[in-house]
Structure 1
Amino acid sequence: MSTVDPRTSPETVGTEAGQRRAEAVEISGWGARFHFMQPHNLSFWVYLALTAIGAFQAWAFFAPDAGFYAEGFAVAAVLCGLCGLAWLVWFHHIDRWERQPGGLVVAALVWGAVPATFAFAMTVNTAMLGIYPKLFGQEWSANWAAGATAPFTEEAAKLCGFLLLMSLAPRLIRTANDGLIVGAFIGLGFAVFEDFLYAASSTARAFGTDPVGNAVHMSVVRIAVSFASHPLFSALVCTGAVYLIGTAAQPRRVGRGAAFVVAGMFLHFTWDDAGGLGGGGLGNFVVLLASVVIGFTVLTIAFRRAAPREYQFVRDILAPEVEAGVVTDAEVDGVLDKRARKAFVKSAPTRKARRARTHLRRAVLDLAHDVAREKGEDTESVRHSRSEVERLRAVAG
């Protein structure tokens, strides 16, 4: 039960703060629900059709060998699945602002895993990789064919799914930050199934010789480099697409959008063609290391460029709460500003108080989510969030 005085409840505060909140909730789409079943939306049927094609292609690829190498396939599936689960938990952790609904996350993962991998990329890649040796020779193809194909075919395949999801969830995918998060989930689905594909293929190519050992070796190799692969590439490409298209919540920035799309594709190229760029041996390692450093630097820049829009939504959604004294400006700053957050936590008098202030930051952000989901109504969940803020503030001193 909240101890906020009803006379100063945010619902009774003047209209300016309330108007800011209403506009922020409307423009941002925070709190909107996701409904996958949309029979009147053409994108829904396109998504289903391409997923069915991808599933059929996957079955046709794996079924002939599944009975012979079932043990190796099972080990590869478990290892790659566990790696994907670990990344899924991490992506959910960094999805701090408008938390993507579970249904949308599943739709993104499925697109990356099935249609993007088997209906698009695998088919086109196989055709292109068969053409290059005839045009440019085996040596050129060994060094450059992968980088001349995958950055275009695979990123386009993942981007197609992102555009379909934008059509299915136009109120949920509106900002550059949404592009980063949803793009990362699409890339994660692609990476997990690609890793499994490599591990399963290594078992089959060895004609059943030590199937478990081959599956484990290839899975570990793929997992070891998974932190700088498809989730990173597609996060950059998809956030670039949001800037290029523009939405109600994200003004169009053509130059910035093109830069992020090109960056994602370029990093994909350097990763796939490290052998050609590095010339073998230590040179390959240097190229891969440089690609990782550049990739995470660009990703950091992308998150920082996307953050101010989300920060403003938080401030506007919580404006009536600040006026009513439910939260303070310092507490909101502690959620949004890194320096203010550190100072806020460090200034606590005891370890217990510091821990409480850390939880208080999360409670303030949870309050913003609940208020947005309830469209500013004074519901039980909103009252509970307010009381939790007050409880943690008392503990934090």
Structure 2
Amino acid sequence: MSASLRSESARTTTAAERRRDAIDLSGWGRRFRFVQPRSLAFWVYLVLTAIGLVHIWSYFRQDVVFYAEPFAVAAVLCLLCGVAWATWFHHIDRWERQPAGLVTAAIVWGAIPATFAFALPVNTAMLGIYPKLFGQDWASNWAAGLTAPFTEEAAKLCGLVLLLGLAPRLIRTANDGLILGAFIGLGFAVFEDFLYAANGTMTSFSSNPDSAAVTVSLTRIATSAVSHPLFSALVCSGAIYLIGTAAQPRRVLRGILFVLAGMFLHFTWDDASGLGGDNGLGIIAVMAASIIAALVILTIAFRLAAPREREFVRDLLAPEVDDGTVSADEVDALVDRRARRAWLRSAPSHRARRARRHLRRALFDLCHEVARADGVPTSRLDHARAEVSRLRDRAAD
């Protein structure tokens, strides 16, 4: 065998090993199985969900007959908002698309056990204690922010811990914590929004309860972007750094900072009135500052989590580069922002630039199919490769 052939063979073997190691380490392409009778996490999840359902029934059963229509209106509005945000979260989950079953389990945990089995009973008890200890005025300004960041974030974090028990080979990186934390928070936010709308309907004594349900629902929905999904994304990502996994080295200080950041932002959001001095402009200023800080910290969290995912992309596509299916420039455009901008700018026409954007999505699809195939040729993998080739031809026009 000639030296050039030996070198080519060694390079191919190395690329194949890199792919194999990346699949094993990252968990990309793994399927999620919820029903695991031998797992304690599975039974704890079921029991706490059942407790949450019992609390939901006991909370609403006396009023649902009288307010069935406004409850239905509020439920539809909150669910539509939830679907819209879930679609967006799926869109930004570009590195590894979490399995639908795992996402569903995350949303259900946030919606039922975290909200009704944990947060609602504990918050009710705590909010009843604070006025007795410090007075009603103090409690109205500070009680919510000194309760919810601890009880609610802990309740949502328990869901991530159980999901880690159910899917230890799927939840491996800080980015997984960000995405799943956002879905847990989304489930919490949707049911909390509905709860506020239901309570507003029952306490307004309005001649038009449907209008009250719509008003409260839309008010709550307007703040969904920077509430529970964002808080729990930061807290759950920080927890992954604290715990450490096979794919994510422990970063204790970073983990503590992200957990505290999520809780602090939750505090500023709930106690905007107290921080703003009960002044309308002050409250708006606090909320605006909280939103800006939250988005900045979230951006930092995604950027710090990205390098590990980029390594997986490069390793998964290494054999595809050697085979000529994908070019090195295209891989760079997937994982590097500056390279992506230069790659798009170098397109010969607007149509070619648009085709390159589609090509980039197709390359991500190919990456996912490579991981899912796990080294075995499949029709879906062949289709993904053919789609890359087709879009590359269009991008060259």
Under a length normalisation based on structure 1, what TM-score does the superposition of the two structures give? 0.96
**What is the aligned partner in structure 1 of residue 223 from structure 2?**
225
1:393 and 2:382 matched: no
Equivalent-residue separation in structure 1 for 2:60 and 2:93 (angstroms):
34
Counterpart of 1:395, as a letter, is R
Pair 1:322–1:62, CA change in 2 (3 A): same
Q: 1:57 aligns with which of 38, 47, 55?
A: 55
Matched ranges for 1:72-151 at <5 A: 72-151=70-149
Q: Tell me the SS of whatever aligns to 2:62.
A: helix
Counterpart of 2:68, as a letter, is A
**What is the aligned partner in structure 2 of residue 255 from structure 1?**
253
Deviation string 1:66-101 (CA, Å, 9 cap, x unpaired) is 010111101101111111111010000000011000
**What is the aligned partner in structure 2 of residue 292 from structure 1?**
291
Equivalent-residue separation in structure 2 for 1:241 and 1:30 (angstroms):
20
- What's the offset of the Cα at 1:380? 1.7
Pair 1:166–1:346, CA change in 2 (3 A): same
Equivalent-residue separation in structure 2 for 1:261 and 1:126 (angstroms):
24
Matched ranges for 1:248-287 at <5 A: 248-280=246-278, 281-287=280-286
1:321 and 2:315 matched: no
Deviation string 1:17-68 (CA, Å, 9 cap, x unpaired) is 1111100000000000000000000000000000000000001101110010
Equivalent-residue separation in structure 2 for 1:233 and 1:83 (angstroms):
18
- What's the offset of the Cα at 1:370? 0.4
- What's the offset of the Cα at 1:161? 0.6
- What's the offset of the Cα at 1:12? 10
Q: Where does the alignment leave 5 or more consecutive residues of structure 2 unmatched?
A: none
Counterpart of 1:293, as a letter, is I
Equivalent-residue separation in structure 2 for 1:66 and 1:209 (angstroms):
17
Equivalent-residue separation in structure 1 for 2:206 and 2:68 (angstroms):
10
**What is the aligned partner in structure 1 of residue 40 from structure 2?**
42
**What is the aligned partner in structure 2 of residue 353 from structure 1?**
352
Q: Tell me the SS of whatever aligns to 2:172.
A: coil
Q: Tell me the SS of whatever aligns to 1:14.
A: helix
- What's the offset of the Cα at 1:208? 5.2
Equivalent-residue separation in structure 2 for 1:392 and 1:274 (angstroms):
50
- What's the offset of the Cα at 1:391? 1.2
Counterpart of 2:115, as a letter, is T
- What's the offset of the Cα at 1:282? 0.6
- Report if aligned partners of 1:69, 1:208 keep a CA contact under 8 Å in 2: no
**What is the aligned partner in structure 1 of residue 212 from structure 2?**
214
Deviation string 1:184-217 (CA, Å, 9 cap, x unpaired) is 0000000000000000111111235310111011
Equivalent-residue separation in structure 2 for 1:79 and 1:362 (angstroms):
31
Counterpart of 2:378, as a letter, is T
Pair 1:359–1:283, CA change in 2 (3 A): same
**What is the aligned partner in structure 1 of residue 66 from structure 2?**
68
Q: Where does the alignment leave 5 or more consecutive residues of structure 1 unmatched?
A: 1-6
Equivalent-residue separation in structure 2 for 1:364 and 1:85 (angstroms):
26
Counterpart of 1:303, as a letter, is F
- Report if aligned partners of 2:185, 2:228 keep a CA contact under 8 Å in 1: yes
- What's the offset of the Cα at 1:388? 1.2
- What's the offset of the Cα at 1:376? 2.2
Equivalent-residue separation in structure 1 for 2:83 and 2:372 (angstroms):
27
- What's the offset of the Cα at 1:335? 1.1
Which 10-residue stretch deviates more, 340-349 or 79-88? 340-349
- Report if aligned partners of 2:206, 2:212 keep a CA contact under 8 Å in 1: no
**What is the aligned partner in structure 2 of residue 363 from structure 1?**
362
- What's the offset of the Cα at 1:264? 0.2
Equivalent-residue separation in structure 2 for 1:11 and 1:191 (angstroms):
54
Q: Tell me the SS of whatever aligns to 1:318.
A: helix
Deviation string 1:357-393 (CA, Å, 9 cap, x unpaired) is 1111111111110010111222221121111111111
Deviation string 1:284-343 (CA, Å, 9 cap, x unpaired) is 011000000000100000000000000000000101111111101100111111221122
Counterpart of 1:275, as a letter, is S
Deviation string 1:123-176 (CA, Å, 9 cap, x unpaired) is 000000000111111111011000010000000000001100011011111100
- What's the offset of the Cα at 1:11? 11
Equivalent-residue separation in structure 2 for 1:333 and 1:16 (angstroms):
19
Counterpart of 1:241, as a letter, is A
Q: Tell me the SS of whatever aligns to 1:96.
A: coil
Equivalent-residue separation in structure 2 for 1:355 and 1:174 (angstroms):
33
Counterpart of 2:375, as a letter, is G
Equivalent-residue separation in structure 2 for 1:274 and 1:14 (angstroms):
58
Counterpart of 2:132, as a letter, is K
**What is the aligned partner in structure 2 of residue 27 from structure 1?**
25
Equivalent-residue separation in structure 1 for 2:10 and 2:367 (angstroms):
18
- What's the offset of the Cα at 1:119? 0.2
**What is the aligned partner in structure 2 of residue 234 from structure 1?**
232
Alignment length (residue pairs): 389
- Indicate the structure whose relative CO is greater, using CA pairs within 8 Å and at least 6 residues apart: 1
- Report if aligned partners of 1:13, 1:324 keep a CA contact under 8 Å in 2: no
1:311 and 2:317 matched: no
Instruction: Tell me how large the CA RMSD over aligned residues is.
Output: 1.4
Structure 1 runs (4+) deviating above 6 angstroms are 10-13
Equivalent-residue separation in structure 1 for 2:12 and 2:332 (angstroms):
22
- Report if aligned partners of 1:44, 1:168 keep a CA contact under 8 Å in 2: yes
- Report if aligned partners of 1:180, 1:238 keep a CA contact under 8 Å in 2: yes
